[in-house]
Amino acid sequence: MTGQVHFLPADAQGVARVVFDHPGKLNALNAQMWRELRTGFDALATQPQVRVLLLQGAGGAFVAGGDIEEFPAFRFQADTLAHFHEELVAPALEAMWWCDLPMVAQIEGACVGGGLEIAACCDLRLCGEASRFGVPIAKLGFPMAPREIEIVARVIGETVLRELLLEARVLNAQEARERGLVTRVLPDALVADEALRCARQIARLSPQAMKLNKQALRRFASGPPSQRAEREPHYAYAPSAEHREGLAAFNEKRPARFDAPAQEPPPSSESSS
């Protein structure tokens, strides 16, 4: 059975799942799975019922890198190698990076290579005590692709990425937590329950606030400080229904209800181009 990336529909709370499933290979990613990842994220723009994404691997592992068995088919020629990284891997990671939905990574077992790249694109990373993190590809004779370095380094930091790449280090869960690579370390048996609890907690909050927070965080991570003209569109949420509901609920001492679609603010100045 070949590997697949399953995009499961949102539950009643608005939590949808992205499941990496490659039986017998610890969910190692092949070329088709990278295509499915990008296609699935592109389609999320048409699914307003989704409030949070929970990313997980099947069978007790997250993602153990790439499917090395298929590497000889494209890695030994520059054009086919460039196509794999520039046209398959990078666009999938960029689709995740530009996604305005909050993403929670449920990390169990191996989170290596492409798995680490995917986890780095998530907002919160919850892992089990037995989890392992790294990009030990120097042992296989090749470096990380440039676009992938750009995406991962701005999330986990250049210092940590240098350690992982240049020493081919594989970190245990506690080491990853100490370096800021993961949000929380949990007993292995509790990871799934805590990740779902976390995702459902986020789903109860304002979707509009989540979207605007993610847009502002991307701007912060992408370069020099923004100018006021670039920041002005952020405040267009002022008269929105969600903003009014959140403050009214606080003053009335009741839970906020963010069930109705929020008033859409004008497009921000942020662009993926």
| pLDDT per position as a tens digit, 53-84 | 999 999 989 999 999 999 999 999 999 999 99
In 46-203 the beta strands, taken as DSSP E runs, fall at 52-57, 63-64, 103-107, 110-112, 124-128, 132-134, 170-172, 184-186
Rounded Cα distance between 134 and 176, Å, is 9
Q: For residue 270, what pLDDT is reported?
A: 58
Q: Torsion angle of alpha carbons 21, 27, 30, 33, nearest 10°? A: 30
Q: Specify the residue for token string 């399953």.
A: 6
Structural domain of residue 270, as residue ranges? 207-273
Query: Are residues 194 and 72 part of one domain?
Result: yes
Same domain membership, residue 242 and residue 111:
no
Task: Say if residue 23 is in the same domain as residue 126.
Answer: yes
Residue at 50: amino acid letter: V
Query: For 208-237, what is the mean pLDDT?
Result: 84
Residue 255 sits in a domain whose CATH number is 1.10.12
Single residue among 203, 223, 257 that ends a domain in this structure: 203
> What is the CATH number for 108?
3.90.226.10
Question: Same structural domain for residues 196 and 118?
Answer: yes
Quick count: other Cβ atoms within 10 Å of Cβ 197? 13
CA 81 – CA 72 distance, rounded (Å): 10
Query: Do 37 and 82 reside in the same domain of the chain?
Result: yes
Average per-residue pLDDT for the chain:
91
The candidate with the shortest Cα–Cα distance to 151, out of 110, 95, 190, is 95
For 187-198, how does the pLDDT look when each residue is reduced to its tens digit (9 = 90+)?
Answer: 999 999 999 999
96 lies in the same domain as 229: no
217 contacts 100 by C-beta, under 8 angstroms:
no
Say whether both 236 and 159 belong to one domain: no
Which of 188, 203, 218 is the last residue before a domain boundary?
A: 203
Last residue of a domain, one of 177, 203, 229: 203
Q: How many independent structural domains does the chain possess?
A: 2
pTM value is: 0.88
pLDDT at 260 over 50: no
Q: Are residues 175 and 228 in the same domain?
A: no
